[in-house]
Structure 1
Amino acid sequence: MYPTKQQLEKYAELAVKVGVNVTPGQAVVVMAPIAAADLVRLITLKAYEVGAHHVYVEYNDEQLTKIKYLNAPEESFSEYPQWRAAAMEQYAENGAAFIQIYSPDPDLLNEVDPSRVATAAKAAATALSKYRSYLMAHKNAWTLISYATPEWAAKVFPGETEGAALQKLWERIIDATRIDHEDPVSAWGVHNAKLSEIVKLLNNKSYKQLHYEAPGTSLTIDLPKGHIWLGGAKYNASGVLFNPNIPTEEVYTLPSKDGVNGTVRSTLPLNYNGVVIDGFSLTFKYGKVVDFTAEEGAEALQKLLDTDPGARSLGEVALVPHDSPISNSKVIFYNTLFDENASCHLALGQAYPVNLEGGKEMNSAELAQNGANQSLIHVDFMIGSAELSIDGITEDGQREAVFRRGNWAF
């Protein structure tokens, strides 16, 4: 039965040493579903072993979340506990590292009014905006990992028994995170080095525009002057190397918020706040979504786009080859952490300041002036396939192949 005790210990060590790279005297905040308690305990132990000063754990229970959405009064969804927002800000200000274990039930909120979900999501995003700004500017080390649960496994492997579905999902997680290696920490060093080479190549190219073509997609994306490609490991404000996502296969930058035109079609389902949105297309004009369609979850997509003005513009452009480990597993995970690393993707909402030269030191007005989108949300959606072609347009107008048939053309 997966995972073995040794594999779970390796996973915990990976989160602590590669995910956030805990330093002596540092506080660590762990946010996790109660189902992942065994992994949380190991993460806590590993963090203290490398010198953590405090490990704070916050558990969540999706069933309690569902109970509230179905039964609480309407006005409760526009409120968010200020004491919790203040605590998260204080953790961030004091240099804490943040580990989040993300294990969603994709069908959790199918029975819930999408307006309730949207209201609660906006209230939380507003209250936590300062805390989130620390993470998006990479001032703190943070990482996102996942843990297999029966509900998630049942969605990924329908028709299987609970035990068989869980085992299959754990097998995929173990493979994608490299914890099946004898030394996962070293294996991640090799992987990060490979991503770094691609980042270096793209930064040297300094394209001014990307042009996407695929079935249902014809899209141009302008890249602002001074854009920076990133991928794999990053440095936080203290010079500590960390991996925001485990697994990760992407390299990414920010688009010019007003320079996106055309139509793009999704290629994988999006699990957004417990609701699946699938088979959708977005049409952009001068950077804004002006029209959309969706085969499933249209109301949830409408609410997402209406979160705030910046929710209709892009904040991220990410490239992932179709011939990559997670894609080759042929599994749809209904979990953006995994699905976005199987596919080229875009993100609606907030741009990362670190993707712009000098962005970490810019205020909101300066970021906007330099083309960076701003929003309460940052929602990735998948657009890659074996039929995707991407061209890069250089400053002197030359067109170069970047992707052909879903993979790097370099």
Structure 2
Amino acid sequence: MSTILAKKISFAYTLPIMNNIEQKYAEFILNEELRIEGGEKLTINANEETIAFAHLLAHMAAEKTGVNVQIVFIDHGKVESVDEIEPDFQEKASGKVCMLHLASFPSFSPLNDENKELSAKELGEYRVISEPVIAGRRVAVPWAICYVPTPAWAEFVFGPGATTDSLWLLLSDILKLDSEDNSLRMQHQILKNRCAKLNNANITQLILKSNSCDLKLDINQELHLATTSTMLSSGRLFYPTAPCEEVIIPLSKHSGSGKFITTYPFRLFDRVFSSAEVSIENGKVVSFKVEDGTTHITKYLSIDEESKCLSELILCDGYTPSSKLEVSTGIPMLDRMRTTSLVLGGITPDTLQAESDEDIDKTIINNSFVRLELPLGSKDLSIQGITEFGEIIDIMEDGIILF
């Protein structure tokens, strides 16, 4: 182990007790997201900015499970060290494992040139890269990705001079860390029931209407509805991300029309835009207007042919803790929980029914390399589904999902 790394880890051990919110966040990750069990071995991936929180969480996990917790320190994409945290009293290992990635807000360069070719690494840093569509990619063990507040993230969200305290308070609010009612125990069943009811209704088309939205969208029948909450074949439940509020409805990339105005700030590359006016025809963006953002829009829409095409509607209730956020966090997995959003670009792989690469190749999907989620939900949004027999089913009214 390098001298520099040894100092980092030593410093992590000598940190004073973290504040109450950090402690509760660690408990929430272990108890509600991972739902960690006795005897289960946890592996935590951390970087320089998240290593201190990793040690806090690892010590808590070791005492909860009774077995060693592994911290993998990663620097610039390379494993620099592996550290074992032991519990005070060792219990018998169950042989089960789970994984946690503690992420930090990535650094990025300003986007000043719409003609600049962006690498996959840069697209990832800008948080516009879509997930790869690979057969058999599903991880068969519980896992989660959790962001840890950092100064760079605080300044992106709240402006120059902002501290991480603001982000800790934001996480506390949207995860209800100070409430006794912050359990995710029933959320999986609620979301699965919503998916099942929509699937069973055989809906082929969606009609969205509000003061700022008028859209007609066709559902992609080759894919299925999905949500973030996950239950393995063993019955083991976990939440890869939190909050967890969404139902993902796959859309046809070849049809769908209308227009809408975004209702929340959204991030595109290095900037946050307060509002955009978007028009769709035949499943493609034909107009995308934002104030002082021509470079960003032109760049995104030109990355590949399908970056401008529809892929999903992310259905979210309009009355959740996240819906009260008046900012963009810059992190798609957090921003999408604020409200219902329309997605351009790559699909969510969990909506795939195909089990092999050959089956995937036969499935008509949006296979764009990038992805942009545009918030359009509001307190007056209504959504109706049209079945293959012409029956009308109310899905949302005044921003509230009706089942």
Aligned match of 1:56: 72
Tell whether 2:237 aligns with 1:235: no
Equivalent-residue separation in structure 2 for 1:277 and 1:117 (angstroms): 22
Aligned match of 2:380: 387
Aligned-residue sequence identity (percent) comes to 23
Equivalent-residue separation in structure 1 for 2:389 and 2:176 (angstroms): 41
Equivalent-residue separation in structure 1 for 2:166 and 2:147 (angstroms): 14
Offset at residue 217 of structure 1 (A): 2.8
- Structure 1 residues 148 and 211: CA distance shift in structure 2, 3 A: same
How many residues are treated as equivalent by the alignment?
364
Aligned match of 1:147: 148
Equivalent-residue separation in structure 2 for 1:225 and 1:114 (angstroms): 35
Offset at residue 14 of structure 1 (A): 3.2
CA contact (8 A) 2:246 2:337 kept: yes
Structure 2: gaps (5+ residues): 1-16, 80-96
Equivalent-residue separation in structure 2 for 1:31 and 1:303 (angstroms): 32
- Structure 1 residues 40 and 228: CA distance shift in structure 2, 3 A: same
- Structure 1 residues 22 and 28: CA distance shift in structure 2, 3 A: farther
Offset at residue 393 of structure 1 (A): 0.8
Offset at residue 332 of structure 1 (A): 4.8
Tell whether 2:359 aligns with 1:366: yes
CA contact (8 A) 1:276 1:297 kept: no
Tell whether 2:19 aligns with 1:19: no
Aligned match of 2:172: 174
Aligned match of 1:37: 51
Paired letter, 1:11: Y
TM-score by length of 2: 0.74
Equivalent-residue separation in structure 2 for 1:342 and 1:256 (angstroms): 24
CA contact (8 A) 1:109 1:275 kept: no
CA contact (8 A) 1:253 1:318 kept: yes
Equivalent-residue separation in structure 2 for 1:232 and 1:342 (angstroms): 15
Equivalent-residue separation in structure 2 for 1:140 and 1:263 (angstroms): 41
- Structure 1 residues 58 and 259: CA distance shift in structure 2, 3 A: farther
Structure 1: gaps (5+ residues): 61-80, 85-94
Offset at residue 177 of structure 1 (A): 1.7
Paired letter, 1:169: L
Equivalent-residue separation in structure 1 for 2:339 and 2:273 (angstroms): 16
Between 21-30 and 224-233, the greater mean CA deviation after superposition: 21-30
Paired letter, 2:24: K
Superposition pairs of residues 105-254 of structure 1, within 5 angstroms = 109-110=109-110, 112-113=112-113, 116=116, 118-121=118-121, 133=134, 137=138, 141-154=142-155, 156-157=157-158, 162=162, 166-182=164-180, 187-225=183-221, 227-235=223-231, 240-254=236-250
Offset at residue 286 of structure 1 (A): 2.5
From 278, 284, 289, the equivalent of 2:280 is 284
Paired letter, 2:252: S
Offset at residue 407 of structure 1 (A): 2.0
- Structure 1 residues 258 and 291: CA distance shift in structure 2, 3 A: same
Equivalent-residue separation in structure 1 for 2:177 and 2:114 (angstroms): 37
Q: Indicate the RMSD between aligned Cα atoms, in angstroms.
A: 3.8
CA contact (8 A) 2:276 2:288 kept: yes
Equivalent-residue separation in structure 2 for 1:325 and 1:255 (angstroms): 27
Secondary structure of the structure 2 residue equivalent to 1:99: strand
Aligned match of 2:343: 347
Aligned match of 1:315: 311
Structure number with greater Rg is 2
Secondary structure of the structure 1 residue equivalent to 2:185: helix
Offset at residue 188 of structure 1 (A): 1.4
- Structure 1 residues 286 and 355: CA distance shift in structure 2, 3 A: same
Equivalent-residue separation in structure 1 for 2:361 and 2:166 (angstroms): 45
TM-score by length of 1: 0.73
Superposition pairs of residues 328-343 of structure 1, within 5 angstroms = 328=324, 330=326, 332-343=328-339
